[in-house]
């Protein structure tokens, strides 16, 4: 038993080193990408499933690597979090998303109530004066706090509960909305939910994906929906790809959605075009 594990260590050692150094390489490249503006944001429409209208967008980061092409945020966001790069990256994303929203609203005043959702990592939220810097971004971009919704994870809430609670209360004084992302996948305990000023629960796409094939996923969504309604929170489902999923979600009282069924995340110009086509 012991021998096997020693052998394993020996066998995997060089491999681990290669991986570590290629990660370091990618980390340096990400630092340059941020400096050289090789990162961009795509925007995925968020839709009312009651009347099909456009409610807002979620800003999602994209990295077009010169040689390697598109690198997924699933790969580079964790890297940015470990290296601390998520702080300048997240700041840039907030500024960029707010500026885009301002531009769209100026062109299409009919959509002056659109809401921009932006993902925020723990490390970013825990920076000194996070709320103040968000406020500066809002003022510079010329949009209201009520037009911004920040998406944070359950882990962020739990790991630094006291500090995070203070930051979130500061954000609420700016009229900013708060959503828990990937809800149901973290270490939820019902008691913590009430301790934070949360407006929205976002059902993770893994549940939506299986809701019509797995009884468990369906039941979990049912429970999350009941929870949201009981606590007076709004509910959004992500990853809706099929008509049947939409119908089932509507029946469960989830009236806001996001997913390929409505639209993929769109580059800036395509998102603007999406708004234009929406009318009036
Ligand atoms: P997330 O916040 O849970 O975002 C939803 C993900 O689901 C996005 O993946 C989106 O493109 C994808 N998606 C949306 N609709 C569908 C659908 O119908 N089917 C399927 N299969 N997927 C769908 P994406 O863009 O690859 O982003 C992955 C994750 O990276 C995000 O998950 C988020 O956690 C993180 N991320 C992206 N941009 C940022 C950012 O600016 N800051 C931070 N902190 N994290 C970010
Ligand atoms: Ca999100
Ligand atoms: Ca998710
Ligand atoms: Ca996430």
User: What are the tens digits of pLDDT across the range 10-32?
Assistant: 455 557 677 778 888 888 999 99
Predicted local distance difference test score (pLDDT) of residue 279: 82
pLDDT at 150 over 90: yes
Predicted local distance difference test score (pLDDT) of residue 244: 96
C-beta of 10 in contact with ligand 1 (< 6 A): no
Question: Cα–Cα distance between 177 and 157 in angstroms, integer?
Answer: 15
CA distances from 92 to 102, 119, 179 (A): 15, 12, 20
Mean pLDDT of 180-189: 83
pLDDT at 146 over 90: yes
Predicted local distance difference test score (pLDDT) of residue 223: 94
- Residue 202: enclosing H or E segment and its boundaries? strand 200-203
Nearest CA to ligand 1 atom 15: 259
Residues whose CB falls within 8 Å of the CB of residue 193, separated by 6 or more in sequence, listed in order: 227, 231
Mean pLDDT of 2-6: 46
Q: How many other CB atoms are found less than 10 A from the CB of residue 274?
A: 18
- Residue 119: enclosing H or E segment and its boundaries? strand 115-119
- pLDDT digit string, tens, across residues 33-68: 999 889 999 999 999 999 999 999 999 999 998 888
Predicted local distance difference test score (pLDDT) of residue 14: 58
C-beta of 78 in contact with ligand 1 (< 6 A): no
pLDDT at 8 over 60: no
pLDDT at 191 over 90: no
Predicted local distance difference test score (pLDDT) of residue 4: 47
Nearest CA to ligand 1 atom 22: 239
pTM of the model: 0.93
Predicted local distance difference test score (pLDDT) of residue 188: 66
Output the average pLDDT for the chain. 92
Nearest CA to ligand 1 atom 27: 73
pLDDT at 84 over 50: yes
Local structure of 198: helix, strand or coil: coil
- pLDDT digit string, tens, across residues 92-103: 999 999 999 999
Nearest CA to ligand 1 atom 16: 239
Predicted local distance difference test score (pLDDT) of residue 184: 86
What's the complex ipTM? 0.98
Spatial contact of 35 and 128, defined as CB atoms under 8 Å apart: no
Predicted local distance difference test score (pLDDT) of residue 2: 41
| Ligand 1 pocket: which of 97, 120, 149, 205 to mutate (most atoms within 8 A of CB) | 205
- pLDDT digit string, tens, across residues 110-142: 999 999 999 999 999 999 999 999 999 999 999
CA distances from 82 to 27, 79, 86, 103, 255 (A): 9, 5, 8, 33, 36
Question: Cα–Cα distance between 147 and 279 in angstroms, integer?
Answer: 20
Residues whose CB falls within 8 Å of the CB of residue 123, separated by 6 or more in sequence, listed in order: 81, 84, 86, 87
C-beta of 73 in contact with ligand 1 (< 6 A): yes
Predicted local distance difference test score (pLDDT) of residue 12: 52
């Amino acid at each position: 038993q012991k021998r096997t594990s020693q052998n394993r260590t020996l066998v995997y050692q060089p491999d681990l080193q290669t991986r570590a150094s290629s990660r370091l390489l990618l980390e340096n490249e990400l630092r340059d990408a941020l400096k050289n503006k090789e990162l961009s944001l795509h925007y995925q429409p968020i839709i009312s499933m009651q009347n099909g209208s456009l409610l807002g967008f979620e800003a999602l980061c994209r990295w077009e690597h010169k040689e390697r092409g598109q690198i997924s945020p699933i790969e580079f966001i964790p890297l940015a979090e470990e290296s601390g790069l998520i702080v300048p990256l997240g700041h840039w994303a907030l500024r960029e998303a707010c500026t885009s929203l301002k531009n769209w609203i100026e062109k299409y005043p009919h959509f002056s109530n659109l809401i921009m959702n932006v993902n925020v990592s723990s490390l970013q939220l825990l920076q000194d004066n996070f709320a103040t810097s968000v406020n500066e971004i809002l003022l510079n971009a010329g949009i209201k706090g009520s037009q911004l919704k920040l998406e944070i994870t359950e882990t962020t809430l739990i790991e630094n509960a006291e500090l995070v609670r203070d930051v979130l209360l500061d954000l609420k004084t700016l009229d900013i909305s708060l959503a828990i992302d990937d809800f149901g996948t973290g270490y939820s305990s019902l008691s913590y939910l009430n301790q934070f000023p949360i407006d929205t629960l976002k059902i993770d796409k893994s549940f939506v994906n299986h809701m019509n094939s797995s009884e468990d996923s369906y039941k979990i969504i049912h429970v999350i929906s009941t929870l949201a309604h009981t606590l007076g929170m709004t509910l959004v489902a992500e990853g809706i790809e099929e008509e049947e999923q939409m119908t089932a979600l509507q029946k469960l009282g989830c009236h806001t959605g996001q997913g390929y069924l409505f639209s993929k995340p769109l580059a800036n110009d395509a998102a603007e075009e999406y708004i234009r086509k929406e009318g009036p």
